[in-house]
Structure 1
Amino acid sequence: MTELESLSLSILAANIIIFNIIGNFGNLNLVWCTLRKRELRSRSGILLAVNAVYQSICLVSLLFNAALIISGKKISRRDCFSIDTLFMIAGSQQATMAFSIALDLFFAVVYPVRYRLFNTKYYFLVLCGTSWTFALFFMVYAWMMMNDDILEFCTVLVAMPPGVVSLWTDLNVIINFGVLGVYLATFLVLKFKCELS
């Protein structure tokens, strides 16, 4: 490994640690406030808190990657994937949960009366169940395609077999564009409603 590669990996490990401190501080405060304040325990507030938990799981999982990067040890893809399993599950859930949060806002704006009548238990079951299904699909698919290639360092993007990671990345990009589309549609509906009144 060249000196530049070693420096790059050290910077990556330092960034993981810094973002863990800052990110978990914000996420834990969001979850704590949601638990303590009744007015924050709306559907939207609970969905945000759930997403913050997923984000914290991703951040803490990255600490194992930082330790491996600092140690300089090479690792097999199978072992790396085992280390990154929690990140993979929580990261997959984050993308779909962001889409669920956007849909939640859209439903609240476009169908306010129906939104209040939704059965909360089933509402959360559908939204969270969708994210679990997405995550579990990729876990099973990755295990089916797994190999024992030796990796220079371990992150979630190299832990998954190449065909799996490209599909996972493509679907996450599509989901993120979907989030933007739903927010844009919500904005346009709000703008239209304001112009009518």
Structure 2
Amino acid sequence: MSSAVEMINQIFIATEIVLFNIFGLFGNINFLFLTYLKPSLRSKSSYIQCALSVSHIFCLLFELPNAVLLFTGIQLRRNVCFPAISIYIFFICAQAVIMLMLVVDLFIIVFFTTFYRRVDNVTYTVLMLFVPFVYAGFTVAWGFVMMDDELVIFCNPPISLHPVVSRWWSMSNVGLNSVTLCLFLFLMIIFHFRGKKQKSDTRKLMKRLKVSVVVFVFSWYMCTLGVDMFVAIGLTGSVLVFFQSNMVFFALLCYTQPFYVMLWRSSEYRVAFVEMWSFLNCVKSLKSKGWVERTTRVTTQVSTMDSSKM
């Protein structure tokens, strides 16, 4: 592959990283602030979502040094690159399992309601984050064990990991995504048959998660499946690195989308977001156009209707 093509591709990827960082950091930080400022938005599920947002913040921030390396054309060896982004790899592994835990959380709400109500928020959140952190810790530890001094063109997770560990990482993520999708489809079927008999809070949580899960799974699927598929079809050398590195677009989309999906699907978060940023003129214009009032009215109607059928 020509050096000119590689240089253009590096600039393109670096630009993607910068743009997604702007939107992604804004969204994830806003979610954390809204959860902190609005007691009505705090729940076991929102605490798990906060852990996902923290993971995505680390993932986005650790992509920025990679953008600098891409702009400058500097190449590193694996024994320099991997330790430098090992924290990133930890959180990139954790966030994949945390999304699964959000679906498991909904499963527990539906089928183990008594347990869900009795356990306190801190204990529940710790239990739900135990598996993600174990998986992430194992992957990073194995990466250190297998680390060598091979020159890597891009300092990103699939390439900084030893090929054996990288293959495990991509295949295990495909498996985790498959479980997430299957479990969520099962819950959608259950909700379809239960209809309006399902409790209002659970239905609203399902509404918020529906699009987020689908976008997460397929953005993350495209990233991890692409990384593994390019190896499986026999690509090697700079061609393999070229295609694997461009999968970062789907990873960045994954890190950025949850908050914006939440705003789209949840009236409570839209109202809270506008209230928090109402000191800005552009946000005041939303209020003057009646956007908040319409949103609040819809929320009230839904809550009233659901409460009467519980």
Deviates more, 1:37-46 or 1:122-131: 122-131
Distance (whole Å) between structure 2 residues aligned to residue 136 and residue 152 of structure 1? 25
Percent of aligned pairs with the same residue?
27
> What is the number of residues matched between the two proteins?
197
Alignment check: 8 A CA contact 1:109 1:190 kept: no
Counterpart check, 1:187 vs 2:185:
no
TM-score (norm 2): 0.61
Equivalent position of 2:112 in the other structure: 111
Alignment check: 8 A CA contact 1:72 1:153 kept: no
Alignment check: 8 A CA contact 1:64 1:83 kept: no
Distance (whole Å) between structure 1 residues aligned to residue 197 and residue 69 of structure 2? 58
Alignment check: 8 A CA contact 2:55 2:94 kept: yes
The SS at the match of 1:147 is: coil
The verdict on how the C-alpha distance between 1:196 and 1:75 changes in structure 2, with shifts beyond 3 A counting, is: closer
Equivalent position of 2:178 in the other structure: 177
Alignment check: 8 A CA contact 1:110 1:189 kept: no
Deviates more, 1:92-101 or 1:117-126: 117-126
Distance (whole Å) between structure 2 residues aligned to residue 49 and residue 131 of structure 1? 14
- 1:86 shift after superposition: 1.6
Distance (whole Å) between structure 2 residues aligned to residue 41 and residue 79 of structure 1? 41
Distance (whole Å) between structure 1 residues aligned to residue 189 and residue 171 of structure 2? 27
Distance (whole Å) between structure 1 residues aligned to residue 197 and residue 156 of structure 2? 51
Equivalent position of 1:78 in the other structure: 79
Alignment check: 8 A CA contact 1:89 1:139 kept: yes
- 1:16 shift after superposition: 0.3
Equivalent position of 1:134 in the other structure: 135
- 1:196 shift after superposition: 7.7
The SS at the match of 2:25 is: helix
Distance (whole Å) between structure 1 residues aligned to residue 49 and residue 126 of structure 2? 15
TM-score (norm 1): 0.95
The verdict on how the C-alpha distance between 1:24 and 1:195 changes in structure 2, with shifts beyond 3 A counting, is: closer
RMSD over equivalenced CA pairs, Å: 1.5
Structure 1 ranges of 4+ moved more than 4 A: none
Q: Deviations for 1:134-185, whole angstroms, at most 9, x for unmatched residues? A: 1110111011111000112211110000000100111111111111111111
- Structure number with the bigger relative contact order (C-alpha 8 A, sep ≥ 6) is 1
Distance (whole Å) between structure 2 residues aligned to residue 153 and residue 177 of structure 1? 28
Larger CA Rg, structure 1 vs 2: 2
Equivalent position of 2:20 in the other structure: 19
Mark the runs of 5 or more structure 2 residues left unpaired by the alignment: 199-310
